[in-house]
Structure 1
Amino acid sequence: MTSPDTRRSILYRMVMKDHVCPFGLKAKDLLTRQGYHVDDRWLTTRAQTDAFKAEHGVATTPQTFIDGQRIGGYDDLRRFFGKSVRDPEATLYRPVIALFAMTALMALAVSYTVFGTPFTVRAGEWFIALSMCVLAMLKLQNVESFSSMFLNYDLLARRWVPYGYIYPYAEGLAGVLMLSGALMWLSVPIALVIGGIGAVSVIKAVYIDKRDIKCACVGGDSKVPLGFVSLTENVMMVAMALWMMIAPMPMR
């Protein structure tokens, strides 16, 4: 790597009237943060972009050059600076961690607003109900994709395919009703049924059959492995349903 007083780079990126390449912006920002002067060269038409690609034998832009050497695109630039590059096929727990962290904080915030303290029994109930709602929302973004992944392991969906389409709506309905404390005669059975079937399905697929498959819990395009996360989702639903059957309900 060049010395600090001579660190210069050339960046070719698409900047057009109807399109500004986001990876070009990221590459420029990364170079600047690494202390490089950026000779920012815009490719302002498709023809100019295609000609640049043909000249340098590359398939994509942006392209960065340092000391006359082509470094490559944004991911290549990150590697050049020793930074991590996400593997699109890698297992990811971050979406699930972010989801449960946010629903927990939301539940604590609501509890503080209502009771003046975040730490209440109702906060725990709201956490589970909110998690059910958000998980259902993620599934509902693409029900077709979710149902296809769900059919890989759910015992009822394999016998009755429409259940794969019904599940996210049922989970969302149960979550909303449990959040409000209304119509427990409906929300409790729904949560018990879908949570119970889900838990048994995960246990069979993962811990008995030892299958290595992806979980549909956060939608149909997730890289979360089936196992603890999906089992937790289903156990929470069952636990919430049982709790609402036996707990005192001053606010319901």
Structure 2
Amino acid sequence: MSQVQSKTSDKTAVIYRMVMDKHVCPYGLKSKDLLERRGYEVEDHHLTTRAETDAFKAEHGVETTPQIFIGGERIGGHSDLRAYFGNPVKPKDETTYRPVLAIFAVAALTALAFSWFALGTLLSIRVIEWFFAISMVLLGLQKLQDVESFSTMFLNYDLLAKRWVPYGRIYPFAETLSGLLMIAGTLTFISAPIALFIGTVGAVSVFYAVYVQKRELKCACVGGGSNVPLGFVSLTENLVMIAMGLWMPVSMYLLA
């Protein structure tokens, strides 16, 4: 195979990526797109067979493709290219609140959509109720994707689950059911006690683990694969369920 060809222009890049009948490397596509969005003219070389790919990696002493070259210098793969442009890929185990914030944002917008459709207004008590209830459903859904994984992470800090392991498997169903009943505005005698119970146990557990034991843990609030840190947001989730458990009976009484 010939040596990597490159041009002298600062805005020219060379990329070698896998493009085969049954596989097109997604990181190759992302790298090409990133370069073009940065204003680079991309000299795009396709590695169309496994043998060609292996020969390229052996020639350049690399283990993966794509490989990007700028100004004759090998930058590396997609992660290296992002770092080159000052936007490195975050480590997979780095904690972030982004997943739970995304859920809350979608829940808020959905509550507003419900209110506009059902009540013709964006300003009502039901918007707040729907927001909290929809948040519970979405958070429960995340846990239901892999109940066993959730329950395993949950055992790290939940006080009741540590004493009675099946509680970790029941929790996602209870949270989701309570949220759905609250959205429907029915069977409050079921939804409110559930929310009050799991919210209280959760709040005590999180407070004890974070503020008493001062442990640094990941929260199972968005499922067993979560990188959300256990802390204030996790405590807030449980306090919201407590508030809903107390408010819904009052709300039903006021509307009666």
TM category (shorter chain) comes to: over 0.9
Calculate the TM-score normalised by the size of structure 1. 0.94
> Match of 2:88, SS?
coil
Unpaired segments of 5 or more residues in structure 1?
none
Q: Which residue of 2 aligns with 1:212?
A: 216
- The CA distance in 2 between the partners of 1:57 and 1:90, in whole Å, is 29
- Rate the CA distance shift 1:87–1:165 in 2: closer, same or farther, 3 A: same
| 2:191 is the counterpart of 1:187 | yes
Q: Which moved more, 1:48-57 or 1:154-163?
A: 48-57
Q: Which residue of 2 aligns with 1:11?
A: 15
- The CA distance in 2 between the partners of 1:107 and 1:218, in whole Å, is 20
| 2:216 is the counterpart of 1:234 | no
Q: Which residue of 2 aligns with 1:155?
A: 159
TM-superposition CA deviations, 1:208-251 (whole Å, max 9, x none): 11111110001111111111111111111110011011124687
- The CA distance in 2 between the partners of 1:151 and 1:115, in whole Å, is 42
Q: Which moved more, 1:242-251 or 1:232-241?
A: 242-251
AA aligned to 1:43 is: L
* Identity fraction in percent: 61
1:1-252 equivalences under 5 Å are 7-248=11-252
Calculate the TM-score normalised by the size of structure 2. 0.93
Q: After TM superposition, which residue ranges in structure 1, 4 or more long, deviate above 3 angstroms? A: 3-6, 248-252
- Rate the CA distance shift 1:248–1:161 in 2: closer, same or farther, 3 A: closer
- The CA distance in 1 between the partners of 2:144 and 2:253, in whole Å, is 30
Kept after mapping to 1: 8 A contact 2:80/2:88? no
RMSD: 1.9
- Rate the CA distance shift 1:80–1:27 in 2: closer, same or farther, 3 A: same
> Match of 1:85, SS?
coil
- The CA distance in 1 between the partners of 2:129 and 2:39, in whole Å, is 50
Cα deviation for residue 7 of structure 1 reads 2.5
> Match of 1:247, SS?
helix
